[in-house]
Amino acid sequence: MRRSYNPSQRRDRRGRWTSGAGSAIKANRPKYVKGSVNKNSFVGQGGRYKGLKIGAEFKTPAGRGFLVKGIAGYHGKPKRRRAT
């Protein structure tokens, strides 16, 4: 059975017919809060470690927010001693 062509019906990237659920899925994705990366980014030093923390804030459709953070640290060169 062949479907009749309807220009208002959507197709996915591979050319398959979609049921319209794709737009509902996109509506439920968390939204990035503008400017939250600048607010949650830090470069600094603590003790012998130097590093940075980067975070971004997201809002869900229900109005809840959550913060995603990543931390990278650097300790310095290891002390290498020769065995004598």
| Residue 47 CB neighbours (<10 A) | 6
Residue 13 tokens read as 């990237």
Q: Residue 39 pLDDT > 70, yes or no? A: yes
pLDDT computed for residue 23 by the predictor: 57
pLDDT computed for residue 55 by the predictor: 92
CA 68 from centre of chain: 8
Digit-coded pLDDT (tens) for 43-83: 888 777 789 889 999 888 778 888 899 988 887 776 777 66
CA atoms within 13 A on the CB side of 57: 13
Q: Residue 3 pLDDT > 70, yes or no? A: no
Mean pLDDT of the chain: 77
CA dist., res. 59 & res. 68, Å (int): 11
